[in-house]
Amino acid sequence: MKTKQRIAVVLVLLMSLVISGCGPGQLFGPTLTPTPTPLTDEEFTEFAREVCNALETEITPLIGTIDFASGADAYRKAADALAALEITEQSAPQGTHLRSGLAELADSTDIVDKALTEALTKANFDTPVTVMFTIGGKVYAYSGMIFNMTWLEIEPDLILDWFATQELVREAAISLELEQCAIEW
């Protein structure tokens, strides 16, 4: 009788292991792989500092130029580098804002670049020009004397959206003490 009971116990144990999804060597269920703990804003800042320094290095030579395509590429590269950092909206709210803001700024800068190129072509500017943006979103260009300014036909909302995105990035960067990511262009 004892042999039958042992066989029954062994069979019940084997059935329970099969039902629980345990594999060989896993007596108490499948092992769980721990997920990485998301970074806090403070930890994010430490890892992001190098990315922001690189962004500042790429943007600084563009100040005073109309090379918006290179600026968009620099913002996109920084956003992609920050995307590798494990954060959530709860663990690092400002880090999340900075990362998404840089991605939005890259897209917005691309849009401004396209609109500016089209407007300059339409206005027959073919020499190096200086561009001036107003708070209201109007864009003026001139080559040579400032008194020879030409209003460029660019939708003001495009410029205002670009300004708003820059402000979002600036606020997040300042709160994280990463001013290098908010360099004024």
136-153 pLDDT, tens digit per residue, is 999 999 887 767 889 999
What token pair was written down for 52?
């922001």
Q: Say whether pLDDT at 20 is over 90.
A: no
Placement of tokens 């410029």 in the chain = 159
H helix intervals, 21-139: 41-59, 68-83, 93-122
pLDDT, position 127: 73
Nearest one of 96, 66, 89, 77 to 169, comparing CA atoms: 96
Question: What does each C-alpha distance from 153 to 66, 67, 117, 120, 138 come to in angstroms?
Answer: 16, 19, 11, 9, 8
Using an 8 Å Cβ cutoff, are 87 and 151 in contact?
Answer: no
Residue 52: half-sphere exposure toward Cβ, Cα within 13 Å = 22
Taking all residues of the chain, what is their mean pLDDT, rounded to a whole number?
Answer: 87
DSSP SS3 for 66: coil
- Confidence band, pLDDT 50/70/90 cuts, at residue 170: very high
d(CA 1, CA 52) in angstroms, rounded, equals 76
DSSP SS3 for 114: helix
Phi, psi of 139 (to 5 degrees): -125, 130
pLDDT, position 64: 87
Residue type at position 132? M
**Cβ atoms within 10 Å, residue 27:** 9
Q: What tens digit of pLDDT does each residue of 28-55 get?
A: 555 555 667 899 999 999 999 999 999 9
Q: Which residues pair with 133 in a beta bridge?
A: 139
Placement of tokens 């107003």 in the chain = 134
> Which DSSP symbol is given to 27?
T
Element (H, E) at 140: strand 139-142
Domain spans in the chain, listed from the N-terminal domain onward: 32-124+156-182
Mean pLDDT of 16-39: 62
The predicted model scores a pTM of 0.77
Q: Say whether pLDDT at 79 is over 80.
A: yes
